[in-house]
């Protein structure tokens, strides 16, 4: 009986003590400002360690993160991203692509006499990705690899379906611009990616694994990252690296800051499995905005060139060339007639700054040039023989002029393809004296029944050099007998195909 009475007394005392602590810890809970509970002046005999723990818990419950996106650094952000999510999800669309899957069957006669065989079509092959509404009149940004080769591009928004038209692509950055016929679209607010800092919170918004309107959070892990995934002759790689989860289907989606403003277009993941494995990469919004503007107004990106080949400085180059700085890019080859030659630049010059902006590596160099047009004047700060110099020069296009570059496309309806001419400098970079590029192949046409693919360069026909699309189509429309077509594949390999007409 005495044991039972003693147990009851202890239990009652414990309950009263617990209620007291609970009451103290939760007083003023609705106060939105951080505060510290002060129990030192109470008349209780509460253990000081418990008081300290209570104060720490209270601080954490009312804590907030300060964002680097706030220039003044004084505005706190809550532990959720509801506002950022709401502001950005409405501007991200779901993209579906359809491509006819074809195969070719050849007979023994085809193998011996160069026949093309017969083409058969299978069911449509479907793909999916994301896109970002860039303006309220229906212009949408996505990745080139999302829509490449598609016979039909479909945009799903607000449970409605639209057939999209491809306005233009930039293979060097993997950015594509498409358009749907719709007005009053909720265009995303665009922030400058230059204001983004390593450590800033970001959200990835897209449609991974066909899961529409998915939002994941992470931080900016690095800027100006090169991962060597672009196969273009002049690749533009200066990615924002983030640990926000990006998966298949996120491609072309938005990377936004804590205010829901666009800072990048999600483009790639670093993974051995094809799914998220820690890091994703986005094209900075400032680069995207320049590309979109050029595609809308000119149909081609206005790329500015220094007229020189550069190499990023590393420890080996630094020691071998006895350079005065381990940061920057060194000129390794000056192109004849280019901006560098006209301004008196020399091989071995080490560029460390452009327009007072530091150039630490090749990614920063490429990104800086991507913001400019042919005809823009820039100021270089560089070392020559360890002497610091300044020089102004005018950037040019790939042909060494300041003319506006407009993509000249030639549509050959009779053979089912669209071609584009190659500038002289581009042919020189490829090691070719002639060639035209296959821009698009129409299904069911003559070219589609060959082994020629989009992006390939047609060099010659029966050893006759091809420099104009009109010449190639003229020959194919009239030739009879065997035809030997020399091409450069998308991997850079030169080969020949034999056909009989």
**Burial (CB count <10 Å: 0-12, 13-18, 19+), residue 67:** middle
Rounded Cα distance, 151 and 163, in Å = 11
What is the Cβ-side half-sphere exposure of residue 87, based on CA atoms within 13 angstroms? 17
pLDDT computed for residue 354 by the predictor: 96
pLDDT computed for residue 411 by the predictor: 84
- As a dihedral over the C-alpha atoms of residue 12, residue 17, residue 19, residue 23, rounded to 10 degrees, the angle is 160
- For residues 441-469, give the mean pLDDT: 86
pLDDT classification of 104: cutoffs 50, 70, 90: low
Return the higher-pLDDT residue of 25 and 123: 123
pLDDT higher than threshold 70 for residue 60: no
Which residues does residue 256 pair with via DSSP β-bridges, in sequence order?
Answer: 203, 262
Rg, C-alpha atoms of the chain: 30
pLDDT higher than threshold 80 for residue 25: no
Q: Which residues have C-beta within 8 Å of that of residue 217, sequence separation ≥ 6? A: 81, 201, 202, 203, 204, 244
pLDDT tens-digit series, residues 383-420: 999 899 999 999 998 888 888 777 777 888 888 888 98
Strands 350-354, 329-334: pairing kind: antiparallel
Closest CA to 251 of 383, 142, 373, 107: 142
Dihedral sign for Cα 297, 300, 301, 306, please.
negative
pLDDT computed for residue 48 by the predictor: 54
pLDDT classification of 79: cutoffs 50, 70, 90: low
pLDDT tens-digit series, residues 300-345: 899 999 999 999 998 998 988 888 989 999 999 999 889 999 999 9
Do residues 382 and 392 make contact, with C-beta atoms less than 8 angstroms apart?
no
Do residues 117 and 105 make contact, with C-beta atoms less than 8 angstroms apart?
yes
pLDDT computed for residue 336 by the predictor: 87
pLDDT classification of 120: cutoffs 50, 70, 90: low
CB atoms within 10 A of CB 80: 9
Rounded Cα distance, 489 and 453, in Å = 8
Structure tokens at 126: 């479907």
Return the higher-pLDDT residue of 37 and 359: 359
pLDDT computed for residue 73 by the predictor: 44
pLDDT higher than threshold 70 for residue 238: yes
What is the Cβ-side half-sphere exposure of residue 136, based on CA atoms within 13 angstroms? 4
pLDDT tens-digit series, residues 187-227: 999 999 999 999 999 999 998 777 778 999 999 999 988 87
Do residues 317 and 329 make contact, with C-beta atoms less than 8 angstroms apart?
no
Return the higher-pLDDT residue of 256 and 117: 256
DSSP string, 69-92: TSTTS--EE-S--HHHHHHHHTTE
pLDDT computed for residue 313 by the predictor: 93
- Please give the share of the chain, as a percent, with pLDDT higher than 70: 77
DSSP string, 231-273: -SSS----EEEE-S---TT-TT-EEE-TTS-EEEEEEEEE-SS
Average pLDDT, the chain: 80
Rounded Cα distance, 99 and 126, in Å = 6
pLDDT computed for residue 114 by the predictor: 47
- The DSSP code for 189 is P
Lowest mean pLDDT among 287-291, 298-302, 427-431: 427-431
CB atoms within 10 A of CB 104: 13
Q: Which residues have C-beta within 8 Å of that of residue 212, sequence separation ≥ 6? A: 94, 156
- The DSSP code for 203 is E
Closest CA to 130 of 244, 239, 210: 210
- For residues 282-308, give the mean pLDDT: 93
> Catalytic amino acids?
145, 174, 251
Which residue ranges form the domains of the chain, and what is each CATH number? 2-63 (no CATH), 75-298 (2.40.10.120), 308-394 (2.30.42.10), 409-500 (2.30.42.10)
Q: Any idea what the Cα angle at residue 54 is, between residues 49 and 57, rounded to 5°?
A: 125
pLDDT computed for residue 465 by the predictor: 93
């Amino acid at each position: 009986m005495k044991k039972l009475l003693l147990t009851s007394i202890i239990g009652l005392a414990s309950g009263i003590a617990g209620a007291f602590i609970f009451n103290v810890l939760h007083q003023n809970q609705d106060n939105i400002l951080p505060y510290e509970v002060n129990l030192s002046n109470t008349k209780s005999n509460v253990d000081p360690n418990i008081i300290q723990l209570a104060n720490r818990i209270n601080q954490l419950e009312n804590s907030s993160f300060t964002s680097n996106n706030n220039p003044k650094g004084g505005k706190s952000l809550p532990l959720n991203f509801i506002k950022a999510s709401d502001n950005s999800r409405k501007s991200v669309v779901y993209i579906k692509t359809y491509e006819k899957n074809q195969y070719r069957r050849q007979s023994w006669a085809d193998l011996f006499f160069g026949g093309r065989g017969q083409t058969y079509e299978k069911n449509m092959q479907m793909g999916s990705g994301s896109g970002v509404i860039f303006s309220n009149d229906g212009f949408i940004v996505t990745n080139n690899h999302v829509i490449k080769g598609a016979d039909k591009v479909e945009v799903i928004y607000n449970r409605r379906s639209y057939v999209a038209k491809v306005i233009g692509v930039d293979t060097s950055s993997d950015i594509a611009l498409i358009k749907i016929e719709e007005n009053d679209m909720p265009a995303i607010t665009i922030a400058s990616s230059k204001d983004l800092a390593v450590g800033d919170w970001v959200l990835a918004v897209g449609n991974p694994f066909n899961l529409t309107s998915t939002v994941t959070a992470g931080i900016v892990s690095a800027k100006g990252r090169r991962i060597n995934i672009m196969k273009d002759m002049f690749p533009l790689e200066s990615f924002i690296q983030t640990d926000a989860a990006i998966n298949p289907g996120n491609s072309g989606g938005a990377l936004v800051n804590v205010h829901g403003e666009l800072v990048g277009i999600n483009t790639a993941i670093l993974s051995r499995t094809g799914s998220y494995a820690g890091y994703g990469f986005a094209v900075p919004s400032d680069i995207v905005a320049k590309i979109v503007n050029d595609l809308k107004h000119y149909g081609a990106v206005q790329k500015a060139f220094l007229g020189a080949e550069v190499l990023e400085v590393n420890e080996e180059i630094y020691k071998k060339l006895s350079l005065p700085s381990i940061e920057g890019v060194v000129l390794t080859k000056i192109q004849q007639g280019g901006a560098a030659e006209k301004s008196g630049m020399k091989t071995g010059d080490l560029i460390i700054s452009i327009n007072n902006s530091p150039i630490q590596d090749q990614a920063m160099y490429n990104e800086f040039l991507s913001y400019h047009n042919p005809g823009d004047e820039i100021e270089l700060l560089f070392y020559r023989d360890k002497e610091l110099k300044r020089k102004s020069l005018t950037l040019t296009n790939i042909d060494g002029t300041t003319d506006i570059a407009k993509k000249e496309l030639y549509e050959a309806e009779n053979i089912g393809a669209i071609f584009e001419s190659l500038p002289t400098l581009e042919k020189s970079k490829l090691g070719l004296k002639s060639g035209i590029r296959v821009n698009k192949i129409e299904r069911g046409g003559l070219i589609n029944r060959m082994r020629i693919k989009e992006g390939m360069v047609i060099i010659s026909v029966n050893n006759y050099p091809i420099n104009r699309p009109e010449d190639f189509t003229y020959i194919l429309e009239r030739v009879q007998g065997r035809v030997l077509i020399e091409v450069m594949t998308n991997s850079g390999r030169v080969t020949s195909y034999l056909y009989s007409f």
